[in-house]
Amino acid sequence: MPTPLAARNVSHSFGSVIALDDVSIDVPAGRSVALVGESGSGKTTLLRCFNRLVEPVRGEVMVGDRDVRTQSTVLLRREIGYVQQHGGLLPHWRVLRNVALVPMLQEMPDPTDAALHALGLVGLPASNFAHRFPHELSGGQRQRVALARSIAAKPGVILLDEPFGALDAISRADLQESFSAMRRDLSVTTLLVTHDLAEAGRLADEVVVMRAGRVEQKGTMRTLISAPATEYVARLIERARAGLEALSL
Amino acid sequence: MRSARALLSLNLVIAASLNAQPEPPRQENRSVVVASKPFGESFLLCEMFAQLLESRGLSVERRPGLGATEIAFGALRSGAIDVYPEYTGTGLIAILHDSLPDSVMADSRAVFAHVTKRFAEQFQVRWLPPLGFQNTYAIAVKRATATKYHLRTLSDLARESPHLTAGFTADFIGRSDGLIGLSRVYGLRPRAVRPLAPAVKYQALVSGAVDVIDGYSTDGLLARYDLVTLVDDRHFFPPYEAAALVTDRLQAQIPTAIATLTLLSGRLDERAMRQLNRRVEVNGEDVRVVAGDELKTLGLVGDVQAAKTTVVRERSGFGRYMWDRRANLMGLMLRHLLLVALALLAAILVAVPLGLFLERTRPLAEPTIGALGVLQTIPSIALLAFMIPLLGVGITPALVALWLYALYPIARGTYTGVRDADPEAVSAAEALGTTPVQRLLWVRLPLAAPVIMAGIRTAAVITVGAATLAAFIGAGGLGEPIVAGLALADTRMILSGALPAAALALAVDGVLALVEKMVAPAHRREGIWRRLGSGPLDAVQGRTAG
């Protein structure tokens, strides 16, 4: 069952640095939303509020119909899939065991089956990969394993923090394709952090542009392009387009 | 018949007089702990004390070769040992730091009376009546040197000292009845002073590496090398009368022991002692045999069967020497290993949790580990000496000292290993809902294992080495033949402890290297180790193969 997410009037600061300034967003159940912005825009901080890796100073964070603060962090996190930029696979565990981690934590009846199934969904045949160690995989394969690990326990929501940010362009395109396919097979809510507007357009139903801890604009990619709300958004789109045009020359 | 009756009545009188005593002295049922300092004569006297006590039915624990004056006397004061041979001059100057008028200094009886009184008041320690000989410092030169520089007295030596290199024991250099006093009284200023171990000073002199050494007047080697002992023309050295130093506690608990030890008082003169030292130091005879022979000669013990079994050692090959002592060496090696294992185990039990705790409380980490590091800089022998007032002598203080040495590398390894364990993996594990304990057991400890093991291996090798010094405080182990060999200038004896100790260090390191391979994180294992403990989920090979 996909789980909706919501943040209401969330503010947070690290010391004197304001990371989030009265931010509100909604991710309806089963939809995919991308948080886009530069480094320091607060996008990762906002993402991490949902699994309580960050406890905001003010505001309300909801996963499903419950405020995250009413749940134990450990149990909350087991209900939420998570992928980080550098995968974070446990290097001393083989692929299968890595993927089975959350099913095991949740004491599912057969974590191995769940893991094998997830490997299939991300396009890694278990017969070839289940028994490898992470260092025996390519960067793209490792991110696929991380993706498999995040969905193995069939969570209602997954959080992705620059999941493909460290990959070369080709692996990246491959993975974006697999991710889209996987989303069609699963019904899961996703919240994605990326600095790449094109990636956001490809993977998300809706885009939230953030800047200096505030929401600059939210809407579909189409809206952003046709009616940028601020000069910053317009510049962002302009720059992404220039990149694409340079390619087509 | 008459005589038999007379005997009977005499017995009755004796029995009655014994019964008449208001309170017969109570004997405690324990061993008398007999010790010595680490040089030949002290070993020999210790062994004589021990055999004499045993011949009177008392059980004895031997602790020969305890450190230097500070360690031996420290052990006596703390009650860790009951008796060891000491010299009045050493007691006066090195222990009491007293200075007496020259007229008193010249009178050995007066000096003895002084130290007896002062030791009883200050330390509750008694000097038994002197054994009958003095062993003073013998400042010695080669006959050729004496002729060349016209040396007969210490004043002559002081005059020529700018041309001469001195080789003195560390003890002598630091003592006020040693070099410090000689410089003050005679104006001795050697061109250079080389600190030498007692075992090598005669060789150093004979080979010409140094020109003058501090010997002992009863050393067997003085005569062997035909050395000239310079006359103390200003009577600088106090009398050094040898006597047994005992605790009041021994007097109270085992009065028979005191009575027995007193049997030796006045029985050993300088000539006899020099002869005995010569047998041990020059001829290389077994201390037990020499001590037993002398006690028999003095009529203090009957024929001791045990002493007969060990004959004068033959000058045979080193291999043979080791083989002949294999049972003894094996015992020492096991004891050594036991010391190391216990100290290391205790250190692991403390330092690994400490390292983990410090990783959680980072601000405390560097100061705490730094403090443990400072302990490493204390020389082992000094650390062992510090332990004596607190814990006495024997295995306990040795274990504590070794344990302290082992803490630093293990705590450092654990802290660093866990702190630096793959941060990405740790943060991902946290984000996916593992508990702190699960992260520790599944991620951080396995990934830190090689670094922790490296710390443990370092600690183990350090401990094997440091444990040889434990013999200085009577903890036994392979240091025993090293300490005794140093004292008796017996290279083979030193090697019979040092070589097995080195082999043991290599073996321990090798075994721990295997352990390190076994605990390496699964992805870093090689060859056969790969199959080890890679977790239940890896048992599904068959199911995914198709």
- Per-residue pLDDT reduced to its tens digit, B313-327: 455 678 888 888 888
**Cβ-based contacts of B447 with chain A (< 8 Å):** 91-92
pLDDT band of B126, cuts 50, 70, 90: very high
Closest residue in B to A53 (Cα–Cα): B431
CATH topology classification for B324-526: MetI-like fold (1.10.3720)
Residue A100, token pair as written in the block? 């089975």
Alpha-carbon distance B424 to nearest alpha carbon in chain A (angstroms): 5
> Using 50, 70 and 90 to split pLDDT, how confident is the model at B469?
confident
Domain spans in chain B, listed from the N-terminal domain onward: 26-134+240-313, 137-229, 324-526
Nearest CA distance, A131 vs chain B (angstrom): 7
Output DSSP code: residue B152.
Answer: -
Q: Looking at chain B from residue 481 to 510, which residues have their Cβ under 8 Å from any Cβ of chain A?
A: none
The Cα–Cα gap between B364 and B355 comes to 11
Taking a C-beta distance cutoff of 8 angstroms, is the pair B42, B487 a contact?
yes
- State whether residue B246 is helix, strand or coil: strand
- Domain spanning B26-134+240-313 has what CATH number? 3.40.190.10
Q: Do B422 and A91 touch (CB under 8 A)?
A: yes
Please write the tens of the pLDDT for every residue from A76-127. 999 999 999 888 899 999 999 999 999 999 888 999 999 999 998 888 888 8
Give dist(CA B99, CA B105) in Å, integer.
Answer: 9
Q: What are A87's two structure tokens?
A: 């995968």
Q: Measured at the alpha carbon of residue B213, what is the angle toward residues B211 and B218, in degrees to the nearest 5?
A: 135
What part of B 405-424 touches A (C-beta under 8 Å)?
422, 424
Tell me the pLDDT tens digit for each residue of A6-58: 999 999 999 888 999 999 999 999 999 999 998 889 999 999 999 999 999 99
- Asked if domains B26-134+240-313 and B137-229 share a fold, the reply is yes
Q: Do A90 and B537 touch (CB under 8 A)?
A: no
pLDDT at B345: 96
Select from A87, A97, A134 the Cβ nearest to the Cβ of B535: A97
**Mutation site, A93, A135, A158, interface B, largest B CB count within 10 A:** A93
Distance CA B84, CA B261 (A): 11
Mean pLDDT value across residues A132-146: 91
Closest C-alpha to B286, from B331, B335, B332, B328: B328
pLDDT of B529 reads 61
The predicted structure's pLDDT at residue B202? 86
How much is the pLDDT for B527? 64
Identify the residue with better confidence: B16 or B114.
Answer: B114
Contact between B424 and A135 using a beta-carbon 8 Å cutoff:
no
DSSP string, B346-394: HHHHHHHHHHHHHHHSHHHHHHHHHHHHHHHHS-HHHHHHHHHHHH-SS
Residue A181 has pLDDT above 80, yes or no: yes
Q: Which residues of A touch B435 (CB under 8 A)?
A: 74
Question: What mean pLDDT, rounded, does chain B reach?
Answer: 84
Is there a contact between A133 and B442 if contact means CB atoms under 8 Å apart? no
Show which of residues 456-485 on chain B sit within 8 Å of chain A, judged by CB atoms.
none
Q: Which residues of A touch B538 (CB under 8 A)?
A: 94, 96-97, 131
Q: Diameter of chain A by CA atoms?
A: 55
pLDDT band at A172 (very low <50, low <70, confident <90, very high): confident
Contact between B337 and B331 under an 8 Å Cβ cutoff? The reply is no
In the A/B pair of chains, how many CB contacts fall below 8 A? 99
What is the ipTM score, two decimals?
A: 0.90
- Please report the pLDDT score of residue B13 as a whole number: 42
Q: What pLDDT shows up at residue B17?
A: 43
- Give the residue-averaged pLDDT of A176-189: 86
Q: Are the CB atoms for B106 and B246 separated by under 8 Å? A: no
Q: Residue B145: what pLDDT?
A: 93
Instruction: Give the tens place of pLDDT for each residue, B205-227.
Output: 988 889 999 988 888 788 788 89
Supply the pTM of this predicted model.
0.69
Judging contacts by C-beta atoms under 8 Å, the chain A residues touching residue B522 are 92-94, 133
Residue B2 has pLDDT above 80, yes or no: no
Contacts with A152 from chain B: Cβ below 8 Å? none
Query: CA triplet A26, A102, B447: central angle to 5 degrees?
Result: 120
With 60 as the cut, is the pLDDT of residue B335 above it? yes
Domain A25-79+157-249 falls under CATH 3.40.920.10? no
Superfamily of chain region B137-229: Osmoprotection protein (prox); domain 2 (3.40.190.120)
Q: Name which residue leads in pLDDT, A249 or B366.
A: B366
Look at residue B36 and give its three-state secondary structure: coil
| Inter-chain CB proximity A111 and B537 less than 8 Å | yes
Contacts 24+ apart (CB under 8 A), A25-31: A25/A208, A25/A215, A25/A218, A27/A157, A27/A189, A27/A190, A27/A191, A28/A4, A28/A189, A29/A1, A29/A2, A29/A3, A29/A4, A29/A156, A29/A189, A30/A2, A30/A187, A30/A188, A30/A189, A31/A189, A31/A190, A31/A205, A31/A206
> Would you state the pLDDT for residue B18?
43
Residues of A with CB under 8 A from a CB of B: 51, 53, 73-79, 82, 84, 86-94, 96-97, 100-102, 104-105, 111-112, 115-116, 126-127, 130-131, 133-135, 146, 149-150
Outline where B179-304 has alpha helix (H): 179-186, 201-206, 220-224, 248-253, 255-262, 270-281, 287-297
- Tell me the domain boundaries of chain A: 25-79+157-249, 90-155
3-state secondary structure chain A: CCCCEEEEEEEEEECCEEEEEEEEEEECCCCEEEEECCCCCCHHHHHHHHCCCCCCCEEEEEECCEEHHHCCHHHHHHCEEEECCCCCCCCCCCHHHHHCHHHHHCCCCCHHHHHHHHHHHCCCCHHHHCCCCHHHCCHHHHHHHHHHHHHCCCCCEEEEECCCCCCCHHHHHHHHHHHHHHHHHCCCEEEEEECCHHHHHHHCCEEEEEECCEEEEEECHHHHHHCCCCHHHHHHHHHHHHHHHHHHC
- Asked whether the predicted pLDDT for residue B393 surpasses 90, the reply is no
Q: Quote the DSSP letter at residue B138.
A: E
Pick the residue of B420, B441, B518, B523 with the most A CBs within 10 A to test the interface with A by mutation.
B523
Q: So what's the pLDDT on residue B27?
A: 64
What is the per-residue pLDDT across B280-294, written as a single tens digit (0 to 9) for each? 888 888 899 999 999
Strand-pairing partners, residue A32, are A190
Mean pLDDT of chain A: 90
CB B7 within 8 Å of CB B184: no
Is B531 buried (19+), middle (13-18) or exposed (0-12) by CB count in 10 A?
exposed
Residue B540 contacts A, CB cutoff 8 Å: yes
Chain A's closest residue to B530, CA to CA, is A92
